[in-house]
Amino acid sequence: MSKNILIADDDSKIAKLIEIYLLNEGYAVYKATNGLQALEMMAEYPIHLVILDIMMPGMDGLEVCIKIRERQMTPILMISAKDSDMDKINGLMTGADDYLVKPFNPLELVARVKSLLRRAYFQAEPSRPGQEHLIVIQSLEINKQTHSVTVSGRPVKVTPIEFGILFLLASHPGRVFSSEEIFELIWKEKYYENNNSVAVHMSRLRDKLEKEMGGEKLIHTVWGVGYKLEY
């Protein structure tokens, strides 16, 4: 099925260039010229990925990104003329999945889009038909139906919060989640500054998994950004 991609950029020339390359790849393209319009289109259409410019009139891309993340986990590729490390970190910390600096090669943008779509819509293969609730990663099995975790058949005792974090990361391998995203998705509460709850639970979860898996690391820290599961 063709994926729907929303381009939110007030520069019509850049938006048109991106559109041409995406259409050539078989994607369906929607365009918004400001942040408010982008949010309205997100609510109206089934958008699978957003290409979001930071500098837009009215509501900027960072604010749009935050508002999208309050409701859904649609992949977001942020584009901007700002190229400092802090600008990139700010973009990723608001919930963007990737950051591309203008001017960019359209072919690189297409490659980033394909990579984000693969990560976001990856479906772990169930071990048997009808077991879509089961994620299997090497010797690790995560069963959403029973809220249980096993390694080589041995049960791993995890709390409901730890299970929620693990299932979230395992459902999106390679995708980086910020502490704020994890907290609001798992705890179902608004994140507040200096909250180390995610770090504490993440540390305990990793210790349990690494102990059972002979030191093998599945959950990785992306410093200044968040956490991801990769294997």
By the 8 A CB rule, do 99 and 78 touch?
yes
Answer yes or no: is pLDDT of 72 > 50: yes
- pTM of this prediction exceeds 0.95: no
* Paired tokens of 89: 């970190």
* Beta strands in 49-133, from DSSP E residues, in sequence order: 49-53, 76-80, 98-101
The gap between the terminal CA atoms of the chain, to the nearest Å, is: 27
Answer yes or no: is pLDDT of 126 > 50: no
Residues 113 and 118: their CA atoms lie apart, in Å, by 9
* Domains of the chain listed by start with CATH number: 4-120 (3.40.50.2300), 134-229 (1.10.10.10)
Residues 142 and 139: their CA atoms lie apart, in Å, by 10
Answer yes or no: is pLDDT of 199 > 60: yes
Q: What is the pLDDT of residues 132-152, one digit of tens each?
A: 678 888 889 999 888 899 999
Residue with tokens 């500054």: 193
The contacts of residue 55 (CB under 8 Å, 6+ apart) are: 10, 61, 80, 81, 82
pLDDT > 90: percent of the chain: 42
Q: What is the pLDDT of residues 99-116, one digit of tens each?
A: 888 888 999 999 889 877
Phi, psi dihedral angles at 2 (to 5 degrees):
-65, 140
The contacts of residue 153 (CB under 8 Å, 6+ apart) are: none
Answer yes or no: is pLDDT of 191 > 90: no
In 3D space, the residue among 40, 48, 69 whose CA is nearest the CA of residue 6 turns out to be: 48
